[in-house]
Structure 1
Amino acid sequence: MRALAAFVEGSALLGTEVTARPAGYRQVMSVPGWRPWALTTLLSRIPDAMAPLALVLLGHQTGSFTVGGLASGAHAITEAALAPWLGALADRWRGHRYVRVALVVRAAAYTLLAATATVLPAAALVILAGVAGGIGAGVPGQLRALLARTMDPPLLHPAMSLDTTLLELAWTVAPVGVSVLVAVGDPRLAVATMAVLAATAALASLRLPAAPSDGDGADGARRSGLALGPVLLRAALPSLALALVGGFAGGVLDTAVPPVLDASGSPASLAGVLFTGYSITSVVGGLIYGLRHWPGRIHRQAAALLAALCLALLPAALVPSLPVIAVSIVAAGLFAAPQLTARSLTLQRDLPESAWSAGFSALYAANGAGYGLAGFAIAALLPLGAHFAFAVPLAVCIAAAVVAFLPSGPARS
Structure 2
Amino acid sequence: MSHNVSFADYRTALTTPGARGPMIAAVFARLPIAMVGFALLFYVQRTTGSYATAGLVSAGALVGAAIGSVLQGRVMDRLGPSRPLLVTSSAFVVFVTIAVISVESGASTPALVAFAFLVGKTQPTVGSASRTLWSRLLPAGRTRQAAYNYDAISIEVFFILGPGLAGLLAALPWAGTGVLISAATQAVGAVAFALTKTVRAQRPMAVQSGSRLLGPLVSPGMWTVILAVMGFGVVIGFVEVAVPAAATAAGQQAMGGLMLSVWSISSVIFGVIYGMRPWPRPLHLRLPVLLGVFAILVTFSAIPTTLFWLGATLLIAGAMITPQSTSHSTALEQVAPPSTMTEAFGWVITAVTLGLALGQSVSGYLVEHVSVSSAFVAAAVAGVIFAGLVFVFRGTIAAGVPGRKADHALAS
TM range, normalised to the smaller chain? 0.7 to 0.9
1:132 corresponds in structure 2 to 119
TM-score, normalised via structure 1 length: 0.80
Corresponding position: 1:394 with 2:383: no
Cα 1:114–1:386 change in 2 (3 A) is farther
For 2:131 and 2:313, the matched residues in 1 are separated by: 34
- Letter aligned with residue 237 of structure 2: G
CA contact (8 A) 2:4 2:278 kept: no
1:141 is matched with which residue: 125, 128, 135? Answer: 128
Offset from partner CA, 1:348-401 (integer Å, 9 cap, x none): 555676776665543443222222222232244344234123422432322442
3-state DSSP of counterpart to 2:7: coil
2:402 corresponds in structure 1 to none
Corresponding position: 1:308 with 2:297: no
Provide the aligned C-alpha RMSD in A. 3.6
2:155 corresponds in structure 1 to 167
Alignment of 1:2-151 (within 5 A): 15-21=2-8, 24-25=12-13, 27-28=15-16, 30-31=17-18, 34-35=20-21, 37-63=22-48, 64-92=50-78, 95-118=81-104, 119-136=106-123, 138-146=125-133, 148-149=135-136, 151=137
2:306 corresponds in structure 1 to 321
Offset from partner CA, 1:124-149 (integer Å, 9 cap, x none): 22221111111125443234445654
3-state DSSP of counterpart to 2:176: helix
CA contact (8 A) 1:172 1:280 kept: no
How far did residue 203 of structure 1 move?
5.2
3-state DSSP of counterpart to 2:252: coil
Could you tell me which runs of 5 or more consecutive residues in structure 2 were left unpaired when the two chains were aligned.
Answer: 399-410
For 1:198 and 1:171, the matched residues in 2 are separated by: 13
CA contact (8 A) 2:224 2:394 kept: no
For 2:395 and 2:131, the matched residues in 1 are separated by: 36
Aligned residues: 392
1:339 corresponds in structure 2 to 324
CA contact (8 A) 2:291 2:384 kept: yes
For 2:341 and 2:194, the matched residues in 1 are separated by: 31
CA contact (8 A) 1:115 1:188 kept: no
Could you tell me which runs of 5 or more consecutive residues in structure 1 were left unpaired when the two chains were aligned.
Answer: 1-11
How far did residue 25 of structure 1 move?
5.0
- Letter aligned with residue 125 of structure 1: L
1:187 corresponds in structure 2 to 175
For 2:216 and 2:88, the matched residues in 1 are separated by: 32
Alignment of 1:231-242 (within 5 A): 233-242=219-228
CA contact (8 A) 1:113 1:191 kept: no
2:200 corresponds in structure 1 to 211
CA contact (8 A) 2:301 2:314 kept: yes
Offset from partner CA, 1:130-173 (integer Å, 9 cap, x none): 11111125443234445654x36488566556545653553454
- Letter aligned with residue 190 of structure 1: G
CA contact (8 A) 1:91 1:219 kept: yes
CA contact (8 A) 1:50 1:194 kept: yes
How far did residue 343 of structure 1 move?
4.8
2:231 is matched with which residue: 238, 245, 263? Answer: 245
How far did residue 193 of structure 1 move?
0.9
Corresponding position: 1:254 with 2:240: yes
CA contact (8 A) 1:256 1:389 kept: yes
For 1:23 and 1:338, the matched residues in 2 are separated by: 20
2:249 corresponds in structure 1 to 263
Offset from partner CA, 1:176-203 (integer Å, 9 cap, x none): 3223222333431111212321343355
For 2:213 and 2:127, the matched residues in 1 are separated by: 19
